[in-house]
């Protein structure tokens, strides 16, 4: 296997590991841990169980209540009624990582096509790889810097309850099923 093919495979494996994380990593952590990542003064978008969306800056948080400043007025919300919490912005760490991984993959593909067809025109591997990886990281950082939306930090699991009646010649009653969405 040539050096370019190795880099292509390595880049593909890294992208798959980042884009498709293990199912265990995707499981939601408990509410206290998720909401515990919030810091006083952060701008929040909160979706309640009645569909209402509130926006404001976090003032206080305890196990049962979350208080925000909304239009210069303190509003206290019950944590049990909260379906989703988003905070303004996104960390700057993930953009360069995704960009660098894409750069490694692009390097592998380009080197595979250039070196496989014309071995005499194969670019300097280290310089070529560092250039595309650096450009990818720079583009990823730029995307993160201009991201101004909300990042979801907590989402309550949806619970579905299904109740079905059943009737037979000798029995009757209800059958219930509870489904927790992950």
Would you say the C-alpha torsion 2, 18, 106, 113 has a positive or negative sign?
Answer: positive
- Residue with the bigger pLDDT between 174 and 69: it is 69
Model confidence at 26, pLDDT cuts 50, 70, 90, reads very low
Rounded CA separation 155/28 (Å): 8
Model pTM greater than 0.85?
no
- Predicted pLDDT of residue 28: 35
Q: How many CA atoms lie within 13 A of 46 on its CB side?
A: 26
- Predicted pLDDT of residue 63: 83
Please state, in angstroms and as integers, the Cα–Cα distance from residue 28 to each residue in 15, 25, 140, 152, following that order: 22, 8, 26, 12
Domains and CATH numbers, the chain: 1-19+90-146 (no CATH), 36-88+149-182 (2.30.30.100)
């Amino acid at each position: 296997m040539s050096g370019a093919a190795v880099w292509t495979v390595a880049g593909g494996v890294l992208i798959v590991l980042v884009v498709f994380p293990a199912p265990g990593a995707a499981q939601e952590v408990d509410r206290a841990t998720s909401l515990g990542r919030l810091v006083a003064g952060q701008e929040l978008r909160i979706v309640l169980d009645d569909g209402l969306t509130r926006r404001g800056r976090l003032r206080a948080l305890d196990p049962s209540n979350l208080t925000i400043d909304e239009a210069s007025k303190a509003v206290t919300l019950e944590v049990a009624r909260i379906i989703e919490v988003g905070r303004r912005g996104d960390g700057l760490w993930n953009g360069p990582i995704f960009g660098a991984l894409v750069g490694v993959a692009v390097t592998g593909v380009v080197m595979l096509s250039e070196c496989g067809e014309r071995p005499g025109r194969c670019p300097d591997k280290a310089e070529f790889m560092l250039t595309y990886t650096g450009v990818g990281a720079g583009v990823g950082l730029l995307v993160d810097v201009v991201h101004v939306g909300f990042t979801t930090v907590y989402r309550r699991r949806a619970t579905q309850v299904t109740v079905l009646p059943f009737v037979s010649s000798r029995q009757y009653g209800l059958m219930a099923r509870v489904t927790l969405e992950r």
